[in-house]
């Protein structure tokens, strides 16, 4: 059964993507990622000398700072920071720069649904722009299950009710991160994974095509 979506999209259709990198002057790497009205700006500083709290003598440590558009950082933002940190740690090669800390600052410009996948995509693009050694790229997608049991991709804020966010890597199509809200059946979950994996493949092609071209390349005043 087809579900009518308010903006006229089909269930499998993503919102328009916009991506640019090297947009911040001071950051060592930066990227902006927008899906429809949702937009996230990510900046990467480092690797730089680790502080006493974050320093690890064998691996580089990654610090994620989440900046919401309005208000203070709450529990939801702390959870997003933790999820993002774990995801980025799994794709970075951390043994090359021991005793260092890499800071990733994620600024939410606008939130119209599917915020965490947008942040994951922006952070990965910023890491690539900063030249941090990575094992592979990671892309993220958001699926939603409607009341009538239909699965839609890339929901807007109005459509977000029971959502599933999948972060996967294009090489092995593995799942690095999966976050769910609400309740859904096992079959719905597996269908969401299938749809998410297919959408991540097209997202990965988009990222791969754009990653070589830099919009501007300005010198850094940091460090």
Partner 1 sequence: METKSTSSFTNLVDQSVCPGDVVLDLSKMINQTIKLGGGLRQDCDAISVMKAGRLRFSKPHKYWVENSQKRYVPYAEDSVLGIVVDSRSDNFLVDIKGPTLAFLPVLAFEGGTRRNIPRFEIGTLIYVRVIKANPGMNPELSCTDASGKAAEFGALKDGYMFECTTGQSRMLLSSPTCPVLDALGKKLSFEIAVGLNGRVWVDAASPHTTIVVANAIMNSETLSGAQQRIMVEKLLQRIQ
| CA dist 67 → 3, 177, 214 (Å) | 34, 21, 25
Restricted to residues 163-192, the positions that interact with partner 1 (CB under 8 A) are 169-171
The DSSP-derived string for 78-133 is HHHHHHHHHHHHHHB-TTSSTTEEEEEEEEEEE-SS-HHHHHHHHHHHHHHHHT--
Query: Which member of 6, 8, 16, 57 binds partner 1 (CB under 8 A)?
Result: 57
Partner residues linked to 152 by β-bridges: 144
Rounded Cα distance between 66 and 106, Å, is 5
Does 96 participate in binding partner 1 (rule CB under 8 A)? yes
Q: How far is the CB of 3 from partner 1 (least distance, A)?
A: 35
- Interacting residues of 10 by C-beta distance below 8 A, sequence separation 6+: none
| CA dist 50 → 54, 68, 130 (Å) | 6, 25, 17
Q: How far is the CB of 177 from partner 1 (least distance, A)?
A: 17
Query: Which member of 18, 76, 82, 93 binds partner 1 (CB under 8 A)?
Result: 93
Q: How far is the CB of 183 from partner 1 (least distance, A)?
A: 35
Residue of 195, 202, 186, 134 lying closest to 166 (CA atoms): 195
Q: How far is the CB of 165 from partner 1 (least distance, A)?
A: 21
Among the residue ranges 35-43, 44-52, 68-76, 104-112, the one whose residues contact partner 1 (CB under 8 A): 44-52
Query: Which member of 36, 47, 113, 117 binds partner 1 (CB under 8 A)?
Result: 47
Query: Which member of 33, 40, 46, 140 binds partner 1 (CB under 8 A)?
Result: 46
| CA dist 57 → 87, 107, 108 (Å) | 21, 30, 32
Restricted to residues 112-141, the positions that interact with partner 1 (CB under 8 A) are 128-137
Tell me if 106 sits within 8 A of 73, measured CB to CB: no
Does 219 participate in binding partner 1 (rule CB under 8 A)? yes
Query: Which member of 17, 175, 193, 211 binds partner 1 (CB under 8 A)?
Result: 211
Residues in contact with partner 1 by the rule CB under 8 A:
28-29, 46-49, 57, 91, 93, 96-100, 128-137, 169-171, 207-208, 211-212, 214, 216-217, 219-223
């Amino acid at each position: 059964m087809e579900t009518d979506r308010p903006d006229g999209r089909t269930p499998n259709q993503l919102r328009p993507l916009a991506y640019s990198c090297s947009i911040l002057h001071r950051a060592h790497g930066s990227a902006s990622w927008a899906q429809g009205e949702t937009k996230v700006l990510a900046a990467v500083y480092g690797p730089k000398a680790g502080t006493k709290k974050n320093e690890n003598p064998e691996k580089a440590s990654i610090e994620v700072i989440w900046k919401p558009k309005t208000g203070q950082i709450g529990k939801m933002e702390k959870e997003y920071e933790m999820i993002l940190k774990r995801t980025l740690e799994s794709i970075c090669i951390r043994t090359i720069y021991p005793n260092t800390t890499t800071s990733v600052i994620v600024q939410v410009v606008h939130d119209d649904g599917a915020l965490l996948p947008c942040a994951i995509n922006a952070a990965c693009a910023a890491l690539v722009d900063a030249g941090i050694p990575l094992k592979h790229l990671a892309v993220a997608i958001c699926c939603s299950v409607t009341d009538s049991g239909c699965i839609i991709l890339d929901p807007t804020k109005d459509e977000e009710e029971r959502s599933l966010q999948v972060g996967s890597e294009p090489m092995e199509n593995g799942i690095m991160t999966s976050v769910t809200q609400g309740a859904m059946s096992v079959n719905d979950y597996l269908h969401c994974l299938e749809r998410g994996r297919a959408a991540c493949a097209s997202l990965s092609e988009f990222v791969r095509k754009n990653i070589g071209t830099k919009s501007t390349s300005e010198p850094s005043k940091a460090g």
